[in-house]
Structure 1
Amino acid sequence: MLLSRRGLSVASLFRLADIQTLLAREICSTSPCKEFRRGLDPVDRPDDAVAQARMQPDLVEQVMGERTLSQAEKVKQRLRDIAHEYQRFEGDTGSSEVQAASLTAKIAFMANHMDQHRKDYHSRRGLEAMLIRRRKLLQYLRRTDFDRYSALIVKLGLRDNYAKLDRLSARYSH
């Protein structure tokens, strides 16, 4: 839910609105703006915050919607969705599948960045580090549980080229 992502509930939004109303009344009591004071009269709200949210769902969306998120919050939300999609059990964020999927999303974002900024060598180094981390995770997963590995690379759309080659087989395969 969008409200829980920013740590706010509907009830806390109402408390914030009440505080803003009190502050505005304090300002208006010292100034002669009667029209402004009329607009700040408290709205008759039901005690049930859920009923109020049903009455005005667009207000919550305006304040906490996807359009108002920063780029960093959008990336965090995307990574949370990926972790939820690839988790093996509830609350799983550290399994190889989740880590490889989140690295794949980060790699795709960085590849897009590198297409636009070709001379950004510092980001290129970070991209290469992410590629190496993903390769090692996938090699580990391939070595330990091939069924999970094959399901993951199909779901991610990757090729099966993560078999670790030893020194001798790489030398004599040509």
Structure 2
Amino acid sequence: MYLAAEKKSEIFKKHGKSEKDTGSTEGQIALFTYRINHLSEHLKKNRKDFNTERSLVKLVGKRRNLLDYLIKTDIVKYRELIQELNIRK
């Protein structure tokens, strides 16, 4: 699998409160960003993989919803996270 448990815990440790805190908004956004980047690279090589393309669109939508939630709750964390993950808006 492309996402090992160590990589996942590293993402949550860096962006969440701890590596066990998998429910934090920041951690979820960071995980979705990692997965989106991985799927984007896959689609550059396999441009006719429409199932992956659909999954990518769904992930982007989920990340967008979480980002919208983060804007409403804590705008400072939102700006830091956008800068750190290089997500354009």
Q: TM-score, normalised by structure 2?
A: 0.91
- The one of 131, 137, 154 equivalent to 2:60 is 131
Conserved? CA contact 2:15–2:26, under 8 Å:
yes
CA offsets 1:12-48 (integer angstroms, 9 cap, x no match): xxxxxxxxxxxxxxxxxxxxxxxxxxxxxxxxxxxxx
- The one of 122, 139, 142 equivalent to 2:51 is 122
Equivalence map 1:1-174=2 (5 Å)? 72=1, 75-76=3-4, 77-89=6-18, 91-159=20-88, 161=89
CA offsets 1:113-139 (integer angstroms, 9 cap, x no match): 000000000110000000000000001
Letter in 1 for 2:71: R
RMSD: 1.3
CA distance in 1, matches of 2:19, 2:31: 17
CA offsets 1:44-66 (integer angstroms, 9 cap, x no match): xxxxxxxxxxxxxxxxxxxxxxx
- Runs of 4+ in structure 1 displaced over 6 angstroms? none
Q: What's the counterpart of residue 41 of structure 1? A: none
Indicate the structure (1 or 2) with the bigger Cα radius of gyration: 1
Q: What's the counterpart of residue 46 of structure 1? A: none
Aligned-pair CA distance for 1:92: 1.2
Q: How many residue pairs were aligned?
A: 88
CA distance in 2, matches of 1:90, 1:128: 27
Residues 135/156 of structure 1: CA separation in 2 closer, same or farther (3 Å cut) = same
% identical aligned pairs: 34
CA distance in 1, matches of 2:18, 2:62: 23
Letter in 2 for 1:103: F
Q: TM-score, normalised by structure 1?
A: 0.48
Structure 1: gaps of 5 or more residues: 1-71, 162-174
Residues 149/120 of structure 1: CA separation in 2 closer, same or farther (3 Å cut) = same
Letter in 1 for 2:3: V
Secondary structure of residue in 1 paired with 2:31: helix
Secondary structure of residue in 2 paired with 1:154: helix
Q: Which has the higher contact order (CA 8 A, sep 6+)?
A: 2
